[in-house]
């Protein structure tokens, strides 16, 4: 009861604060030239003294997903500039979630290119200090990007609900992988249904698309995290059901890396309900700790 009352009070206070600040968020449209796609992002300009924060949604989601908007709103209320792009997933100006059953032709590489485009755009807007925040697979994609990024404006990265994408414990079927690899080798990019993440066997994707994300397996992810050149913070939900598949050992593995691991006990994968604010507090705390 006490937690619930606290949750309500926080909600009301943040809403009122956001209203008082009157932060004007706008949609930014960008042509992703190599693919001739139009991408959109919500851009809210904050205080110049504070770093800009790029917030990336999870798998098949958009920047309207509540975890993203929650983080954006809270950061904007703190005076941070925020940019929350929606990965096109090969759909210009995509506005809605992409279903498992939708045709998936997008690849991890394309996603990284779009992320790079938005970081560059943010940098071009005069933001010299950029902090990356990702949720779920968005964290993986930012991790992959940050590992290879050369942009000096990137100062740190906050990874929430960070897991990996490939591994038998996640349901990935080796025969499907083999088959997809064979098709791709033969340059046959015919879409098929695959067992992937929460889509079970309904993930309808081209072999190229499917295989591209399998790159992010457990060891590769940990290695990226280990080898990052910028500070990294990893915020995990203690009650994330992904642990049912990957086990709590994943937290230990993360602990073994140089990342700063924070676990919010009781929170689910999306930090919904009252844990939304815990996440916000943690992120704001992290941002406020970083030197200007």
Partner 1 sequence: MPLKSYFIQPVKVYFAFFLIAGITLSALLVSNLHSQTQSVQTALQEKTLQQAQKEFDVVLDDAIINLTSNLLELADWDEIRQQIEDPSYYYFWHEDRLKGSGYFKNNYAQIELYDQNKWLLMPPMDEDSLDAPLPLQIQTDEAELIFVSPTKAYLHMFEPIFARDSQTLLGYVGISIALRSYLIEENEFKDINPQSIKFTETQPINLSDLSSNIHFKPMENTVANELWQQIQNFIVDIVILLSVFTLLMFVIFQRLFSRPMQRLANYVQHLKESTNDTNTQPNETFLIKEFEALKHSIHDYHRDLQTAQKELNTQYEKVWKQARQDALTEIFNRRAFDEMWNQLVATYEYNPNDISFILFDCDFFKALNDTYGHEIGDDVIRITAKTIQETLPSQYDVFRIGGDEFVVIIQERPLHEAFAIAKKCLKALKNYNFCGIGIKERLSFSIGISHLAHQNSKNLRGDLLNLPRQADIAMYKAKQSHQHKIQCYESQLEVESLSLVSSQVINTIVEAIHTGQYIDMHLQGIHSVQENKLYYESLIRIKKDDLFIYPKDIFSVVERRRLEVEIDTQIIQQMLIAFQKGHIPSNTGVSINVSGKTLLTSNFVDLFEPFLPYLKDYKIVIEIIENTLIDHMEYAKTVLNTLRSQGFLIALDDFGSGYSSIRYLAHMPVDIIKFDMSMTLALDADEKTKNIIRSTAKMVRDAGYDLVLEGVETEDMFEKAKQAGATHIQGYLLSKPTSILKIYGSK
Closer Cβ to partner 1, 90 or 268, answer by number: 90
Q: Give the separation between CA 161 and CA 143, rounded to whole angstroms.
A: 12
CB atoms within 10 A of CB 89: 23
What's the rounded Cα separation, in Å, for the pair 84 and 23? 15
Strand partners, 156: 131
Residues at the site binding partner 1, with contacts judged by CB under 8 A: 27, 29, 36-38, 40, 90-96, 98-99, 101-103, 105, 190-191, 204, 206
- Residue in the block written with tokens 């705390």: 285
Are the beta carbons of 63 and 84 closer than 8 angstroms?
yes
- In whole angstroms, the minimum distance from the beta carbon of 75 to partner 1 comes to 25
Compare residues 13 and 109 and give the one whose CB is closer to partner 1: 109
Instruction: Residue 133: name the closest of 46, 59, 233, 229 by CA.
Output: 233
Question: How far is the C-alpha of 252 from the C-alpha of 136, rounded, in Å?
Answer: 18
Nearest to partner 1 of 105, 290 (CB atom): 105
Q: Which is nearer to partner 1, 148 or 190 (CB)?
A: 190
Q: How far is the CB of 64 from partner 1 (least distance, A)?
A: 13
Would you tell me how many other CB atoms lie within 10 Å of the CB of residue 40? Answer: 19
Q: How far is the CB of 25 from partner 1 (least distance, A)?
A: 15
CB of residue 58 vs partner 1: minimum separation in angstroms?
A: 17
Q: Which is nearer to partner 1, 29 or 109 (CB)?
A: 29
- DSSP codes, 103-162: -B---HHHHHHHHHHHHHHHHHTT---EEEEEETHHHHHHHHHHHH---TTEEEEEEES-
- At its nearest, how many Å lie between partner 1 and the CB of residue 191? 5
List of residues 6+ apart from 58 with CB closer than 8 A: 65, 67, 135, 136, 137, 138, 161
The CB-of-186 to partner 1 minimum distance in angstroms stands at: 17
Which of 17, 103 has the CB closer to partner 1? 103
Instruction: Give the integer Cα–Cα distance in Å for 6 and 9.
Output: 5
Q: Report the Cα–Cα distance between both ends of the chain, in Å, rounded.
A: 39
Asked if residue 195 lies in contact with residue 271, where contact means CB atoms within 8 angstroms, the answer is no
């Amino acid at each position: 009861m006490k937690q619930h009352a606290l949750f309500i009070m926080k909600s009301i206070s943040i809403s009122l604060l956001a209203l008082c600040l009157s932060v004007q968020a706008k949609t930014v449209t960008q042509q992703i030239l190599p693919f001739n796609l139009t991408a959109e992002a919500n851009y809210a300009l904050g205080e110049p003294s504070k770093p800009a924060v790029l917030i990336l949604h999870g798998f098949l989601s958009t920047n309207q997903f509540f975890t993203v908007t929650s983080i954006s709103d809270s950061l904007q209320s703190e005076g941070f500039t925020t940019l929350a792009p929606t990965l096109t997933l090969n759909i210009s100006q995509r506005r809605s979630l992409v279903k498992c059953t939708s045709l998936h032709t997008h690849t991890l590489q394309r996603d990284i290119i779009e992320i790079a485009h938005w970081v560059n755009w943010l940098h071009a807007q005069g933001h010299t200090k950029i902090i990356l925040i990702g949720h779920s697979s968005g964290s993986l994609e930012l991790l992959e990007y940050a590992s290879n990024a050369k942009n000096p404006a990137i100062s740190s990265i906050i990874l929430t609900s960070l897991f990996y994408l490939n591994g038998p414990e996640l349901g990935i079927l080796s025969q499907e992988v083999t088959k997809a690899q064979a098709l791709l080798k033969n340059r046959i990019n015919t879409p098929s249904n695959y067992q992937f993440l929460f889509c079970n066997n309904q993930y309808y994707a081209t072999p190229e698309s499917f295989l591209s994300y399998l790159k992010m397996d457990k060891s590769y992810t940990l290695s990226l995290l280990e080898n990052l050149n910028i500070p990294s913070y990893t915020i995990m939900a203690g009650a994330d059901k992904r642990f049912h598949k990957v086990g709590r050992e994943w937290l230990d593995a993360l602990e073994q890396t140089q990342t700063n691991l924070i676990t919010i006990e009781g929170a689910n994968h999306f930090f919904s309900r009252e844990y939304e604010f815990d996440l916000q507090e943690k992120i704001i705390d992290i941002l406020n700790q970083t030197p200007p």
